[in-house]
């Protein structure tokens, strides 16, 4: 079974929608992606984005982008802008259907008043700790608030006074009157409104009470006539409350909530709270640090959007939580880049080579293919000169057997150009190798000789006079453990940060053509991996992020799986 077929088979949400269409339950499919603008989106959100926008497109429906902006203390315009950029970058468009929970504040307030009038909500004077302590446990029922039986008139008066700003933060809340003995704790008189004297980015100081998420999102779904309200498994126990509100209020539609397993990825944390700590405590350079699992971080690292979409398709949509190997994501990235990334030569740790029998001042130009996987990508010219750089690891003075790169007396092929043989090794006063003196075979131009001899080693190189200096940032996993959330008592997840997650090389040499590359474009450096030109690049200083190595870890994992 192909990866696509596997993903389709495991997407139970798609199966539900398909059946709803066949049965006539829904004539139009409307989904929504409802992020809270209190941080940057991560790869787990990418799964939800691809699911909601994907099924809507598949069934000729639409997907709304709705911001759950009910907490003005934590929300910023920066986050809203980043979320919109991420969704568009992934390849999806909400068109005119951009909404905000704050669009519905007046309607939500009016419905809250209706709940009070019908005896289904009351104002509670208990503080947060008192409410928490009287809510009960999984085995013990909660205790009724002493204010639960207030009259409708008193509740309406207090709620309006809450709205008018007469009380301090936390002094009173509005709660639904459901059942303090319910086996589902979420049904034990949940809080609908809290007092929060804070200016809202969109509504300003109009409101000083703000609705809670459990009250807001279901009614927002109804107002927007969402047909399938899709969320992650942690909201499964909240579904009875979602349904309770819909039945208790005169809403214009009755959407249904469906839950799917969230994405868990090895070597990664997905908690917004933890990601925020990484940023605030400067363990990373920001939300878009290429080591972060944020969509913006992956974009800056050079991951293609198509690779993330393919990854989400491959993992499918299931009903039970599981953890996906990070190597599977890397495999999707590597497959996409192998097909589409242009090829260049870059020397990360350069070692100077002087071709002593090549005439000074002379140069040759060779045609180099831009992508062997794509004949239409064409070729470029690379300039060969007397002095050039090779990778320092491609030379060994005393090599072991089966070392097919350069060593004293050995002959190798320089990619696209000539065969060279090492004749002399130059060292500094400390015994460090600083230069190689080599000779070239003029008859080997283009990589072949009249006598038909072959060499086993082919090295990449860059002309010393033509090459451009570059800073190369080599990224690895931010965490050294597969499950960084698993910590021993007295320790913190930050203790699992790997000291080797970033290595910076400042003296690398790359082909001059890379200077004209736009920031954000990912290329393959022959033999070294895939690298993305970073936004920090300037005319005087090129900066590249290693997106991923050429080695495929996922293939090894799959090979070791039991039959």
- The structure tokens 């909530």 sit at 257
Q: How far, in Å, CA of 242 to CA of 251, rounded?
A: 12
533 contact partners, CB below 8 Å, separation of at least 6: 514, 517, 518, 519, 520, 521, 522, 523, 542, 543, 544
Least confident of 149-153, 431-435, 442-446: 442-446
pLDDT tens, residue by residue, 342-400: 999 999 999 999 999 999 999 999 999 999 999 899 999 999 999 999 999 999 999 99
* Residue 209 pLDDT > 60: yes
Q: What is the CATH number of domain 3-265?
A: 3.40.50.620
pTM metric for this prediction: 0.92
C-alpha span between 5 and 268 (Å, rounded): 27
Residue 491: per-residue pLDDT? 87
- Calculate the alpha carbon distances from 256 to 70, 239, 284 in Å: 22, 9, 40
pLDDT, residue 331, reads 96
Say if residue 269's pLDDT is above 60.
yes
Residues 6+ apart with CB under 8 A from 535: 300, 519, 520
Residue 552 above 80 pLDDT? Answer: no
- DSSP calls for 537-552: --SS-EEEEEEE-SS-
Round to whole Å and give the CA distance between 371 and 339. 8
Please give the helix or strand (H or E) that residue 342 lies within, else none: none
End-to-end CA distance of the chain: 15
- pLDDT score recorded for residue 5: 42
Give the β-pairing of 433-441 and 419-427.
antiparallel
Question: What is the distance of C-alpha 267 from the center of its chain?
Answer: 13
Least Cα distance to 50 among 301, 260, 300 occurs for 260
The owner of tokens 């242009």 is 342
Q: What is the pLDDT of residue 3?
A: 43
- Give CA–CA dist 492/133, Å, rounded: 27
DSSP run (H or E) holding 15: helix 12-23
Dump pLDDT digits (tens) for 210-250.
999 999 999 999 999 999 999 999 999 999 999 999 999 99
pLDDT in tens, 35-77: 999 999 999 999 999 999 999 999 999 999 999 999 999 999 9
123, 125, 129, 134: CA torsion to nearest 10: -70
Domain locations along the chain: 3-265, 346-467
Whether domain 346-467 has CATH 3.40.50.1370: the reply is no
Q: 352 with 436: CB under 8 angstroms?
A: yes
pLDDT value at residue 553: 59
Tokens of 132: 């928490």
Report helix angle 152-163 to 105-117, nearest 10: 160
Beta partners for 472? 505, 544
* 330 touches 303 (CB < 8 A): no
pLDDT at 490: 82
Neighbour tally for 39: CB within 10 Å: 23
pLDDT at residue number 452: 85
Contact 525, 531 (CB under 8 A): yes
Q: Is-contact 120 187, C-beta < 8 A?
A: no
Other CB atoms within a 10 A radius of the CB of residue 169 amount to 12
Strand pairing category for 191-195 and 173-176: antiparallel
Q: Which residues contact 188 (CB under 8 A, 6 or more apart)?
A: 135, 136, 141, 142, 178, 179, 180, 181, 182
C-alpha dist (Å) from residue 357 to 197, 360, 392, 413, 464: 79, 9, 22, 16, 16
- Asked whether the predicted pLDDT for residue 7 surpasses 50, the reply is no
CB 335 within 8 A of CB 310: yes
Report which secondary-structure segment, H or E, holds 427: strand 419-427
Within its chain, how far is the Cα of 431 from the centroid?
A: 46
Q: What is the mean pLDDT of the chain?
A: 94
> Which of these, 193, 197, 224, lies nearest to 211 by C-alpha position?
193
Q: What is the CA angle 185-189-195, rounded to 5?
A: 120
Confidence of residue 13 (pLDDT cuts 50, 70, 90): very high
Whether 563 has a pLDDT exceeding 60, the answer reads: no
Residue 381 has φ and ψ, to the nearest 5°, of -95, 130
209: left (phi over 0), alpha (psi -120 to 50) or beta: beta
Catalytic residues: 36, 262, 272
Percent of the chain with pLDDT over 90: 91
Here the tokens at position 355 are 């071709």
Contact 542, 498 (CB under 8 A): no
Is residue 4 scored above 50 in pLDDT? no
DSSP secondary structure string, 26-84? -SS-EEEE---SSS--BHHHHHHHHHHHHHHHHTT-EEEEEE----TTT--HHHHHHHH
Entry field: residues in the chain: 563
């Amino acid at each position: 079974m192909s990866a696509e077929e596997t993903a389709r088979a495991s997407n139970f949400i798609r199966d539900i929608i398909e059946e709803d269409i066949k049965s006539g339950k829904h004539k139009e499919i409307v989904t929504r992606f409802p992020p809270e603008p209190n941080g940057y989106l991560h790869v787990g959100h990418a799964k939800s984005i691809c699911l909601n926008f994907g099924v809507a497109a598949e069934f000729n429906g639409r997907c709304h982008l709705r911001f759950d902006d009910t907490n003005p203390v934590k929300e910023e315009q920066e986050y809203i802008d980043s979320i919109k950029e991420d969704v568009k970058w992934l390849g999806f468009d909400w068109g005119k259907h951009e909404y905000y929970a704050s669009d519905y504040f007046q309607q939500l307030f009016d419905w809250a008043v209706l709940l009070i009038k019908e005896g289904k909500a009351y104002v509670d004077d208990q503080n947060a700790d008192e409410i928490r302590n009287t809510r009960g446990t999984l085995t013990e029922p909660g205790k009724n608030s002493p204010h639960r039986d207030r009259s409708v008139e008193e509740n309406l008066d207090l709620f309006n006074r809450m709205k008018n700003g007469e009380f301090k933060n936390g002094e009173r809340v509005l709660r639904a009157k459901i059942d303090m003995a319910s086996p589902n704790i979420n049904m034990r008189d949940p809080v609908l409104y809290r007092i929060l004297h804070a200016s809202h980015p969109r509504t300003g100081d109009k409101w000083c009470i703000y609705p809670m998420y459990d009250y807001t999102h279901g009614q927002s779904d109804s107002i927007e006539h969402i047909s399938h309200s899709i969320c992650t498994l942690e909201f499964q126990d909240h579904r009875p409350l979602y349904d309770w509100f819909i039945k208790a209020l005169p809403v214009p539609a009755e959407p249904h909530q469906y839950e799917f397993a969230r994405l868990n990825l090895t070597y990664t944390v997905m908690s917004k709270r933890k990601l925020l700590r990484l940023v605030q405590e400067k363990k990373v350079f920001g939300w878009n640090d290429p080591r972060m699992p944020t969509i913006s971080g992956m974009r800056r690292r050079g991951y293609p959007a198509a690779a993330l979409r393919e990854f989400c398709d491959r993992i499918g949509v299931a009903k039970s939580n599981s953890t996906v190997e990070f190597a599977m994501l890397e495999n999707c990235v590597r497959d996409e880049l192998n097909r589409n990334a242009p090829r260049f030569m870059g020397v990360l740790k350069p070692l100077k080579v002087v071709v002593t029998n090549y005439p000074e001042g002379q140069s040759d130009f060779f045609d180099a293919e831009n992508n062997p996987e794509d004949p239409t990508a064409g070729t470029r010219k690379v300039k060969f000169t007397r002095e050039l750089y090779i990778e320092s690891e491609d030379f060994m003075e005393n090599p072991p057997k089966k070392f097919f790169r350069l060593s004293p007396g050995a002959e190798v092929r320089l990619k696209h150009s000539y065969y060279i043989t090492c004749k002399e090794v130059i060292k500094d006063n400390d015994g460090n190798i600083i230069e190689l003196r080599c000779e070239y075979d003029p008859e080997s131009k283009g990589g072949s000789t009249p006598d038909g001899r072959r060499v086993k080693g082919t090295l990449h190189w860059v002309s010393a006079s033509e090459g451009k200096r570059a800073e190369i940032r080599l990224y690895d996993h931010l965490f050294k453990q597969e499950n960084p959330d698993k910590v021993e008592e007295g320790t913190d997840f930050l203790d699992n940060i790997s000291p080797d997650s970033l290595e910076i090389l400042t003296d690398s040499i790359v082909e001059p053509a890379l200077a004209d590359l736009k920031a954000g474009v990912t290329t393959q450096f022959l033999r070294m991996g895939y690298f993305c030109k970073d936004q920090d690049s300037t005319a005087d200083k090129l900066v590249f992020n290693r997106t991923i190595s050429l080695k495929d870890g996922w293939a090894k994992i799959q090979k070791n799986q039991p039959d």
